[in-house]
Amino acid sequence: MSLLRQPLLLLARSEKVKNLVTRMPVSAGIVRSYVPGEAAANAVDATARLVGDDLRVTLDYLGEDTLDVDQADATVHAYLDLLTALSARGLTRHAEVSVKLSAIGQALPQQGHKIALENARTICRAARNAGTTVTLDMEDHTTTDATLATLRELRKDFPETGAVVQAYLHRTEADCRALAYEGSRVRLCKGAYDEPESVAFQGRTDVDRSYIRCLKVLMAGQGYPMIATHDPRIITIASSLASRYGRGAGSYEFQLLYGARPEEQRRLAYAGETVRVYIPYGTEWYGYLMRRLAERPQNLTFFVRSLVSKK
């Protein structure tokens, strides 16, 4: 792993640095390349463009670690407005939403689990009424059990709700076995947080090996794997596993982040693969941006240049 990964992930949680960095306009270079804008209209326009290129989308209203009930409610309303806007533009057949439970109350000191579950239900109901689905993003390892418990509750009424698992966690291969049942939508990613050795693989090779083991479990299973990676090697292996396990187009999908390898997104779609692009939007882009920089420190030069050139 890059030497810069850990410090950047620490900065992702620093209020001081956040205040400094977020004063730069969102349109500044690197931010704009990963986040289409702060308003729902920017995200919906980006969705329409990608859908026009035969891509699917999942939208994330940025925000996390909310410690305020009103803020959690505001996030729920942002999702409801987004779903209404997507529906009005006829986009819900191709666009779903991704939700972080910590943005809708999970981290609240009292009854966080219950509040997040109720809020997630409200979003799932609105998504279903709009003809689409919700996926629960996965956050740091201290929330994994609570998030999977909320997922199980939600799936009683909304079995279409997507799960996310992170290959860097030691537990994830077992989680994949438990989740690989019929109708179960499961996004497999490497994992974006700074996790201790006690719970997570630390080296790139170990994480990649774990990803492949998890992917085999999901591809061999009965569920719907959502392969979230930009890694060219893993994308190639996933395509050959699909053939090995007799999975046709539409029985799994690739997922990539907005702004990451856009030509590859289109190449895969052109080759007949289902490809979904994850679009984050909103004012709370700081933590998201820091995780992207931690993954790709070569973007740092670009980032620092846009910081110092700000008015």
Could you give the 3-state DSSP secondary structure of residue 299? helix
Give the binding-site size for ligand FAD (rule: CB under 6 A).
22
Smallest separation, CB 169 to ligand FAD (Å): 10
256 binds ligand FAD (CB under 6 A): yes
Look up 187 and say whether it is catalytic.
yes
**Smaller CB separation from ligand FAD, 69 or 199:** 199
Window contacting ligand FAD (CB under 6 A); options: 17-25, 88-96, 112-120, 184-192: 184-192
Smallest separation, CB 189 to ligand FAD (Å): 3
Window contacting ligand FAD (CB under 6 A); options: 77-85, 115-123, 177-185, 256-264: 256-264
Question: Among residues 138, 237, 275, 289, which is the contact residue for ligand FAD, using CB under 6 A?
Answer: 138
**Smaller CB separation from ligand FAD, 185 or 190:** 190
50 binds ligand FAD (CB under 6 A): no
Residue linked to tokens 């920017």:
42
Q: What secondary structure letter does DSSP report for 65?
A: S
65 binds ligand FAD (CB under 6 A): no
Smallest separation, CB 207 to ligand FAD (Å): 7
CA-CA-CA-CA torsion for 134, 290, 142, 184, nearest 10 degrees? Answer: 30
Look up 137 and say whether it is catalytic.
yes
Exactly one of 187, 276, 291, 292 is catalytic; name it. Answer: 187
Residue 310 to residue 24: CA distance in whole angstroms: 6
Rg (CA), the chain: 18
Window contacting ligand FAD (CB under 6 A); options: 10-18, 45-53, 73-81, 227-235: 227-235
Which residues within the stretch 273-302 sit at the binding site for ligand FAD (CB under 6 A)? 278, 295-296
Strand order in the sheet with 185-189: 134-136, 95-99, 56-61, 275-281, 253-257, 224-228, 185-189, 163-166
Smallest separation, CB 224 to ligand FAD (Å): 14
In one-letter notation, the amino acid at residue 38 is E
Window contacting ligand FAD (CB under 6 A); options: 85-93, 143-151, 229-237, 244-252: 229-237
Both tokens of 284, joined, read 């709370």
8 binds ligand FAD (CB under 6 A): no
191 binds ligand FAD (CB under 6 A): yes
Q: Which distant-in-sequence residues (6+ apart) come within 8 Å of 215 by Cβ? A: 188, 225, 227, 234, 237, 238, 241
The answer to whether the beta carbons of residues 132 and 117 sit under 8 Å apart is no
Task: Please give the backbone phi and psi of residue 138, each rounded to the nearest 5 degrees, phi first.
Answer: -110, 135
Q: What kind and span of H or E run contains 208? A: helix 204-220
Residue linked to tokens 């009683």:
156
Please choose, from the candidates 292, 303, 294, the residue with its C-alpha nearest in 3D space to the C-alpha of residue 60: 292
**Smaller CB separation from ligand FAD, 90 or 232:** 232
Question: Among residues 216, 261, 300, 307, which is the contact residue for ligand FAD, using CB under 6 A?
Answer: 261
Both tokens of 111, joined, read 């009854």
Catalytic residue annotation:
137, 187
Contacting positions for ligand FAD (CB under 6 A)? 137-138, 164, 166, 189-193, 228-232, 255-257, 260-261, 278, 295-296
